[in-house]
Amino acid sequence: MAITKLAFIVRSLPYKTEASRLALTHAIASQTVEIYLEDGDNVEPVLCYIGDGVLNCLKNQQAGKHYGITSLEQHAKNSLLLDLKVMICKEDVDKFGLKEDQLVMDAEDIGGETNAQLVPYSEIQKVMEEVDHLQFF
């Protein structure tokens, strides 16, 4: 019985490339990974937004209206609905002049009970040092 910790570090802008979407969809895929593993084994994802990546957490994205695709906001909510650990870099949020109420911090409207954490970069750095595998998107 073992747990492998995987960090998904999102530093790409939303929509400019597919990278941040792939980070979220791969992290969310952790919910079904058990079908490939032995009983008791699992992966534990943590999703961290840093740099330009914090813009993926903005509320009121209009991807459906303009592109006909799911928004990164919806994926961010889904990650919270599925109880993924989500951390957003406070310094980078401040740099963009954003406030916490402009970001997806919970998924209460779809039944989620887990909140995202707005944290100093030092806490994200600590997570990056603790996990087994680190991936930047």
Partner 1 sequence: MGKLTIGCFSSLVGSLSLDFAVKLSEAAVKKGHDVDLWVSSNATMLSKKGQKPFKDYSHLAKTLTELFASGKFKAVACEACAEARGYHKDDTMEGWGRRSMDWYLASAFSADRVLLIGGD
If phi > 0 it is left, if psi is from -120 to 50 it is alpha, else beta; for residue 101 that is alpha
Place of tokens 């909510």: 77
Site size toward partner 1, by CB under 8 A: 26
Question: Does residue 78 bind partner 1 (CB under 8 A)?
Answer: no
Q: CA dist 81 to 45, 75, 84, Å?
A: 14, 10, 8
Question: Does residue 29 bind partner 1 (CB under 8 A)?
Answer: yes
Amino acid at 48: C
Q: Is 62 helix (H, G, I), strand (E, B) or coil?
A: coil
| Contacting range for partner 1; rule: CB under 8 A; set: 41-49, 79-87, 89-97, 107-115 | 41-49
| Cβ 109 to partner 1 shortest distance, Å | 25
| Cβ 135 to partner 1 shortest distance, Å | 4
Whether 7 contacts 131, CB under 8 Å: yes
Which positions touch partner 1 (CB under 8 A)? 2, 4, 6, 12, 17-19, 22, 25-26, 29-33, 35-37, 41-43, 45, 133, 135-137
